[in-house]
Amino acid sequence: PSLFGTVEPFAGDPILSLNIAFQGDPRTEKVNLTIGIYMDGAGKVPVLPSVKAAADKLGFGVRSYIPMEGLPEYRRLVQELVFGKAHQVLAEKRVATIQSVGGTGALSVAADFLAKHAPGRAVYVSDPTWDNHHGLFQRAGFETKTYPYWDGATRTLRFDDMLKTLEEAPAGSIVIVQPVCHNPTGVDLSRAQQDALTDLLIEKKHIAVFDMAYQGFADGLEEDAGFVRRFADRTSSFLVANSFSKNFSLYGERCGGLSVVCTAADEADRVLGQLKLVVRRSYSNPPTTGGLLIATVLGDPALRAQWEAEVADMRVRMKDMREKLAAEVKKLSNEIDVGFITQQRGMFSYTGLSKPQVVQMRDKDGVYLVESGRMCVAGLTDANVAAVAKSLVAARA
């Protein structure tokens, strides 16, 4: 046999595979509610006008290597967006931030950094979670465990069980927390629950890794960062991964940030050095184009105001589609409690549909959901929402 003759095939990513199946589906009435990509009212992935204006302003010239940690302006703007301009952690220069290759790249660097500087700890992720949380931390050498999160029967949070598991976890465990717009459930912690979790994480000296991939998609750019900001008011030695894929509609440019909140400025300097080392050994330095676009939009007052309005438009459209879907379902059936559709937040709704029900919707109606029952509400439009409701009600019957 050849050297690589026994290499195992890659099972693929279930969500990306579904997306490919969708592309190949010849039906014209098909609806794609699988992948977490925001689509506008016409069912298209938008180019945000603020980003287009930044691209026009920038043009294209020679783009040499940028620093391992990314563009200085970009990094400053990431910090301000995540922590708020006036936060003490920024005034005290206690945050080490790098420009990352999307949110995934931020988590990957976080996992490598922790593997070296906080080795041997258990990593806890929500049950269920974005699958790559397991994969990225396992690749870095960690064992991953889960904390209860979703109660399928009530379509709500298992908060007491979540706290109990994290209470019983070994002190100093790594805990991945999605602070807003939880993927895949759409169920977030209330303010009081955030505070209670903060108390517990501090008491147990757990290392929080916040994964904020949807800032701006729940209540607003500032509001959505509230959990992370209040956490930073109380403690340090934690990490925040943020992504610009969704809120800038720049999926393919691969832009995000990783911030490590430290106890002192000199510690943050050394931590930044270690993040740079991880970067140097894996991809050397981040790509330029997306970073320049984002720094241009965030750094220019007029473009920034425009972008904030565009994020608000996306947020409002998703809420609107949730309400329309709930109303359409209600028209067809009184037996389905539609409250969960409008109560869940962000891009996703965990419908509670079983795998056979999801398969029925796909096969009979060309309505594609993830087999876990996760629906991307950003794929709903005025043109397809009634058909989706009909398919959903039929599948439950």
The residues that are catalytic are 130, 211, 246
- Least distance from C-beta 256 to ligand PMP, angstroms? 5
Q: Are 261 and 236 in contact (CB under 8 A)?
A: yes
- Which of 134, 135, 161 minimizes the C-alpha distance to 150? 161
List the structure tokens of 24: 């190949």
Contact between 104 and ligand PMP by CB under 6 A: the answer reads yes
Distance CA 30, CA 76 (A): 43
- Least distance from C-beta 59 to ligand PMP, angstroms? 26
- Least distance from C-beta 96 to ligand PMP, angstroms? 20
Applying CB under 6 A, among 102, 186, 286, 290 the residue interacting with ligand PMP is: 102
Contact between 211 and ligand PMP by CB under 6 A: the answer reads yes
Distance CA 304, CA 216 (A): 13
Distance CA 390, CA 148 (A): 32
Of residues 77 and 385, the one with the C-beta less far from ligand PMP: 77
- One symbol per residue from 240 to 279: x for binding ligand PMP (CB under 6 A), - otherwise; what is it? ---x-x----------x-----------------------
Contact between 183 and ligand PMP by CB under 6 A: the answer reads yes
Of residues 224 and 328, the one with the C-beta less far from ligand PMP: 224
Binding positions for ligand PMP, 124-163, rule CB under 6 A: 130
Of residues 15 and 271, the one with the C-beta less far from ligand PMP: 15
- One symbol per residue from 8 to 47: x for binding ligand PMP (CB under 6 A), - otherwise; what is it? ----------------------------x-----------
Which of these segments, 18-26, 98-106, 261-269, 284-292, binds ligand PMP (CB under 6 A)?
98-106
- Least distance from C-beta 47 to ligand PMP, angstroms? 17
List the structure tokens of 79: 């910090």
Strand 156-157 with 150-151, pairing: antiparallel
- Residues 109, 178, 212, CA angle at the centre, nearest 5°? 60
Beta bridge partners, 125, equal 146
User: What DSSP character marks residue 335?
Assistant: S
Q: Is 186 left (phi over 0), alpha (psi -120 to 50) or beta?
A: left
Distance CA 32, CA 81 (A): 31
Contact between 103 and ligand PMP by CB under 6 A: the answer reads yes
- Least distance from C-beta 281 to ligand PMP, angstroms? 20
Number of DSSP helices (H) and strands (E) in the chain, helices first: 16, 13
> Exposed e or buried b for every residue in 292-322, given b needs 16+ CB within 10 A?
bbbbbbbebeebbebbbebbeebbebbbebb
Contact between 90 and ligand PMP by CB under 6 A: the answer reads no
Residues in the chain: 397
- Least distance from C-beta 35 to ligand PMP, angstroms? 8
Which of these segments, 63-71, 78-86, 99-107, 265-273, binds ligand PMP (CB under 6 A)?
99-107
Q: Which residues are at the interface with ligand PMP (CB under 6 A)?
A: 36, 102-104, 130, 178, 183, 211, 213, 243, 245, 256
